[in-house]
């Protein structure tokens, strides 16, 4: 009987060693981070919260009251580490991932099977958006990603799409200019073309806006955006031809304006050069007269008879060169 008890005891010890001791060692890969829980509670860094981290600076005052998560102790890559039977390890990849912005993780068939995201412009036109999102898990807010939100990627995608659609619906060209600047009534299709052209010309501005507005995602859901890349904005097929005609007309008008401006600039330059040439000619003709007047003024100052003598000598020189002289004789 004692041998049976000893055998049961040794078997229990062996099972316990195999079940809880040998399997209590673990490692963390290079692209992973881990969080340990004890009796279901994550190991925390004292009473510190995410509000004390710089990622909370992107939250407004109202959101700071909602998104308060404790800071947990993050286990860095390496190992082997040891955990007790009452402890559990949660691992997560922190590598950057890419996802189509039209992908709906809960309904894969939505948005044309996750290929095109629809949005409505300010002029009530449905357009299709294509692009990608690069994101990664925020190491400084692993609690929100692992325990605070049930499916953080779904939440952050919905948050991104909501902001993007709001931006498209209220977008106006930053310079406030369009193809038309008059107050006259125009065809609605032309206004459609202006709206889409403004969106296409300002893709970089829209991408920058999305990155700024989504900067709070790290504090909200434990996911931070690496980049937002909207690559295409396509109108409905029924207005594609009209938009192409508008763009062609706009390009022709821009070309004509550029040519007219270049021709006007060339004419102005030529006119300026002609004025300079005529001015120089006039100065060349006036300069000898000015010099002659100065010389005569100096001669007059030498005495009253000097000027008469000068005039007589000039007449004599002219007489020697003239073939015929006609003189008036007084009677």
Question: Within a 10 A sphere around the Cβ of 133, how many other Cβ atoms?
Answer: 23
**Cα–Cα distance measured from residue 10 to residue 253, given in angstroms and rounded to the nearest whole number:** 93
Q: Which CATH number does the domain housing residue 141 bear?
A: 3.30.479.30
DSSP string, 96-110: -EEEETT--SS-TTH
| E strand segments, the chain | 25-28, 32-38, 41-42, 44-49, 70-72, 74-75, 78-82, 87-93, 97-100, 117-120, 126-137, 223-234
Give the C-alpha separation, 283 to 306, whole Å.
29
Beta strand pairing status for 117-120 and 44-49? Answer: unpaired
Q: How far lies 99's CA from each of 96, 127, 234, 256, 307, in Å?
A: 10, 20, 20, 44, 102
Confidence at residue 187, expressed as pLDDT on a 0 to 100 scale: 46
**φ, ψ for residue 174 (rounded to 5)?**
-55, -35
| β partners of residue 227 | 134
pLDDT at 237: 63
Alpha-carbon distance of 237 to 41, in angstroms, equals 55
In a domain, 39, yes or no: yes
Residue 49 lies inside a defined structural domain of this protein? yes
Task: Judge whether 258 lies within some domain.
Answer: no
The whole-angstrom separation of Cα 226 and Cα 99 is 12
Same domain, 167 and 79: no
Per-residue pLDDT of the chain (331 residues; tens, 9 = 90+): 677 777 766 777 666 666 666 677 889 999 999 999 999 899 999 899 999 999 999 998 898 889 999 999 999 998 788 888 888 999 999 999 999 988 888 888 888 888 888 888 887 778 888 888 899 999 999 999 999 888 889 988 888 999 998 988 888 766 554 444 444 444 444 444 456 777 888 888 888 888 888 888 999 999 998 877 888 887 766 566 666 666 677 778 888 888 888 888 888 988 888 888 888 888 888 888 788 777 777 777 777 677 777 777 777 777 777 777 777 776 6
Of 228, 243, 258, at which residue does a domain stop? 243
Would residue 127 count as lying in a domain?
yes
Same domain? 77 vs 162: no
Shared domain for 153 and 187, answered yes or no, is: yes
> Is residue 295 in some structural domain?
no
How many domains does the chain contain in total? 2
For residue 21, report the phi and psi dihedrals to the nearest 5 degrees: -90, -55
pLDDT of 302 reads: 73
Range of the domain at 113: 97-243
């Amino acid at each position: 009987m004692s041998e049976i008890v000893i055998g049961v005891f040794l078997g229990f010890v062996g099972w316990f060693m195999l079940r809880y001791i040998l399997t209590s060692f673990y490692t963390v890969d290079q692209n992973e981070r881990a969080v340990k829980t004890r009796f279901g509670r994550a190991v925390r860094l004292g009473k510190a919260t995410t509000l004390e981290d710089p990622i909370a600076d992107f939250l407004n005052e109202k959101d700071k009251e909602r998104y308060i998560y404790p800071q947990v102790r993050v286990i860095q890559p390496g190992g082997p580490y040891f955990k007790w039977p009452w402890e559990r390890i949660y691992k997560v990849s922190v590598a950057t991932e890419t996802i189509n912005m039209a992908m709906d993780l809960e309904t894969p068939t939505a948005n044309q099977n996750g290929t095109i995201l629809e949005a409505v412009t300010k002029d009530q036109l449905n357009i299709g958006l294509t692009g990608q999102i690069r994101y990664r898990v925020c190491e400084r807010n692993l609690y929100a990603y692992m325990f605070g939100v049930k499916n953080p990627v779904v939440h952050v995608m919905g948050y991104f799409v909501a902001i993007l659609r709001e931006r498209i619906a209220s977008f106006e060209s930053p310079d406030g200019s369009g193809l038309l600047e008059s107050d006259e009534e125009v065809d609605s299709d032309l206004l459609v073309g202006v709206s889409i052209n403004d969106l296409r010309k300002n893709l970089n501005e829209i991408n920058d806006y999305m990155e700024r507005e989504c900067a709070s995602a790290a504090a909200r859901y434990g996911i931070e955006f690496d980049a937002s890349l909207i690559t295409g904005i396509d109108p409905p097929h029924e207005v594609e031809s009209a938009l192409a005609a508008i763009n062609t007309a706009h390009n022709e008008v821009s070309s004509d304006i550029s040519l007219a401006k270049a021709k006007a600039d060339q004419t102005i330059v030529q006119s300026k050069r002609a004025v300079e040439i005529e001015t120089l000619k006039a100065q060349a003709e006036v300069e000898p007269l000015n010099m002659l007047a100065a010389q005569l003024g100096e001669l007059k100052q030498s005495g009253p008879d000097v000027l008469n003598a000068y005039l007589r000598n000039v007449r004599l020189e002219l007489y020697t060169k003239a073939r015929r002289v006609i003189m008036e004789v007084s009677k």
